[in-house]
Every structure is written in structure tokens, then in C-alpha cells.
Amino acid sequence: MQPDPAPDSARQLRAIWISDVHLGTSGCRADHLLDFLRCHESEYLYLVGDIVDGWQLKKSWYWKQSHNDVVQKVLRKARKGTKVIYVPGNHDEAARQYAGLDFGGIAIRQEAEHRTADGKRLLVLHGDEFDGVIQYAKWLAYVGDSLYTLILELNRGFNWARLKLGLPYWSLSQYLKHKVKNAVNFISNFETILAGEARRRGFDGVVCGHIHKAEVRDIDGILYGNSGDWVESLSALVEHPDGRLEVLYWTQMGQPAATLQAQTAQADHKETTCAS
């Protein structure tokens, strides 16, 4: 593991939410996440589910050193005083049996409540509880997961060719999510349902993961935030010291990208480290 940047060079945030890392899969961009964690410090760190992909690990074992480094980095942050809250998702649902317990300074919770610097109460949960496919047709979710893994493999080969031609990164699965009518409707309905649940329970907003679509927006007076994923978008939701929420994309090692389209295919072939 590379040494961390000096404390004064790391960006100071009040809270960080990351989700859908999928450690244990070839699609996980653990090196980028590790770089992001080195370059950012926060009072709170929320792990909003699907941090480890138990579904894929049951099929075949895949665990690079960089995956272990991410785990060690989170544990180190907890030891140094960061309040780390882990809310398991559907891919790491085995951890839900330990909800309410603390291990190594990490609090495992079924869901959590976060209060922003400007006083907003946010419900924090993975979100699969409100996904009908997960709840009522889990076999279909397994099929979808296998197809998604295949698309990621195709996407890597496709972007290797684009890189050779000098073309920018292009995400097939993100394109399908935004263009296929049923996928667009599913995402929209999911976001609306989560915002409605937050309103019903008296919260000012909700932060979740699950659908791999980073977002911060207002839904009928409720603040909706999604931390995205570390498979494609390489995104995190963060709270600034003034309470403002923002999505950060860490698509280039050591420097944030302004847009999702700036994501680099080079990261699949050449690894660098945080410039700090």
C-alpha cells in the first residue's frame, strides 16, 4: 500500500458516502477508490452497501491486493477517529445479521441517520429494500447481475479499442440505463419511492446506493442523494463543511473529473497513484 498524503494536503470534508464498490469482482476499480480515500478526509464515512460482492465470490474467488488495501484503509481511518458506518446492501447481505454491532471501530447498521451541518436529517440506506425484483424475484436479480458482468467485460474490450483510436471513454451499461425506457422508468420510480419513504418517516432527505447512478436533486421538497458506484462512474457523495452535498467523480487517479464522460479507459491498462 502506498503512503497516504500529508494530512494538510488531503481534502477535508464533513461526510463521505460510498457504495457499490463490489470488492471481489474484476470490475471493481479498487485502485481508484484507494486513491480517493487517501486524498480525502472526513468526520463521517458511510459505506452504503454492496461494498463486497458476495454473489460473485460465491461463484469464483477473486481478490486482488488492491481490494485488501481498500479494507485496510477504511480500518485505518476508523482507528484515526473517522466515524465509519457500514450499511450492508443486497450483495453483502450476509453482514446484515451483525447489524447493531461494532467491529474494529466500524458500526454496522441496517440503516442510519445523518444530520448535516445545516440541520437536515438524512435517512441512509442501501435501497434494495425498495427494489421489487430483489424482494420478489431474486432469481431474476441474479440473472441481471450476470448480464451486467458480461456487459462490463464487453465494455472493457470496446474501450481498449477506442483508446487505441484516440477516442474518449464510453460506457455501454450507462448508455443502456439512460436510453432503455424500462431502465429509465425503473430509476425514476426508485428515486421517487425512496424520497417518499424519507418524507413518510419525517426525514428531510435520503441517501442510498444500489442503482449505480450518482445523483443529488430535490424531489418534491425532499433531498435525494445517491453515491453511485466504483465499477463505472467512480463516484462518491460528499458533504462540505457548510452542509452542501455534491457528487464527486474520481475518474482519473489523483484528480477529480468534472463529468462522467471524462472517465479514462487508460486506468484499465496503466495504474498511477495520488499526486499528493
Domains observed in the chain: 7-268 (3.60.21.10)
What is residue 168's predicted lDDT score, i.e. its pLDDT? Answer: 67
Q: What is the pLDDT of residues 75-96, one digit of tens each?
A: 999 999 999 999 999 999 999 9
What is residue 3's predicted lDDT score, i.e. its pLDDT? Answer: 59
What is residue 137's predicted lDDT score, i.e. its pLDDT? Answer: 42
Residue 68 phi/psi, 5° resolution?
-65, -40
Q: How confident is the model at residue 2 (pLDDT cuts 50, 70, 90)?
A: low
For residues 77 and 90, what is the distance between their CA atoms, to the nearest angstrom? Answer: 25
Q: How confident is the model at residue 155 (pLDDT cuts 50, 70, 90)?
A: low
What is residue 136's predicted lDDT score, i.e. its pLDDT? Answer: 41
Burial class (CB in 10 A: 0-12, 13-18, 19+), 221: exposed
What is residue 274's predicted lDDT score, i.e. its pLDDT? Answer: 34
What is residue 141's predicted lDDT score, i.e. its pLDDT? Answer: 46
Residues composing the chain:
276
Q: What is the pLDDT of residues 49-79, one digit of tens each?
A: 999 999 889 888 999 999 999 999 999 999 9
pTM for the structure as a whole: 0.77
CB 148 within 8 A of CB 173: yes
Q: What is the pLDDT of residues 92-142, one digit of tens each?
A: 999 999 999 999 899 999 999 999 999 999 999 999 888 644 444 443 444
Q: What is the pLDDT of residues 156-215, one digit of tens each?
A: 676 677 777 777 666 666 665 565 545 545 677 889 999 999 999 999 999 999 999 999
